Structure 1
Amino acid sequence: MKFLSAGTRRCDTAAETQALGEELGRAVEPGDVIILDGPLGAGKTTFTQGIARGMQVKGRVTSPTFVIAREHRSTVGGPTLIHVDAYRLIAEGASGDPLGELDALDLDSALEDSVVVAEWGGGLVEQITQSYLLVTLDRETLVLEDPESEGRIISWRLEQWQ
């Protein structure tokens, strides 16, 4: 991945969140895995929309909560974006075998030609790769400072899976 291995940025608007995602999207390479962490409403899908724009992929990026994963093919011969929402795999009431359900998605075999962006994927999705970029979206800090704030603090770091 041709992106800074660690950093933090304040994004005061959804457009700034998408712009940071777009920077990352221009830097990703086939085989990259990005795990997005943050509470409901933190901007994970908004960030992914920016990644998709940077990767120049087809289709409108929306939360894949009900389908678990969506593929967006490149318009310029680049990697496919696989957008995963792992929440349903790990949520209470799920099948009880989230790793088995993840394996059924066959992400690891698609990984050599794709970039996987997983919302709610921590503790699960990193098992398909040796290294991944963990992106944390903090929506609470800026709202505590100013309840009218639309901002978030986005931090990222490259992680290794044992």
Structure 2
Amino acid sequence: MNKAKQLLDELQNLDLDIQSRIDEINELEAGLLSSPKWKTDKVQGGSGRKVDDVYTQLIVMKEAIEQDTNEVINRKLELGRLINRLANPKHRTVLRMTYINKICVDDICDSMGGISSPTYYRLKKQAVKELDVIISELIVNDSNSTGMKPKIW
């Protein structure tokens, strides 16, 4: 599979990743807001665990998840900006509607002036090829200037 297709597949799946992180944050917040059910119990030979310690751990977890979520959102923005580099507006539209907005083929065809599904697939294939060229150029330019792996990976 070419690099453009891999990045587009990643882009399409980022929303689910973001939503699962948001759900996890909401569950942690609900736990923080509910009445404390923990006690300072001492297990044989162990030390007691204070309610404050548990809340502190939950807050640290929430902050870590929020930071991870921001990184995933930034990745989605970065991949969306790659699509913005396409010269052909129809190619940009097809990729955005397919991979970012997740609109079904029939609805994309309708919104693009009633194009046929074969036209949609032709435009999509051309757009992926164009995106692959852009990514290849970025790899060459970035590796020539820094000697390191490009930022988009």
Higher strand share: 1
Structure with bigger gyration radius: 2
Output the TM-score relative to the length of structure 1.
Answer: 0.22
Q: Which has the higher contact order (CA 8 A, sep 6+)?
A: 1
Output the TM-score relative to the length of structure 2.
Answer: 0.23
Higher helix share: 2
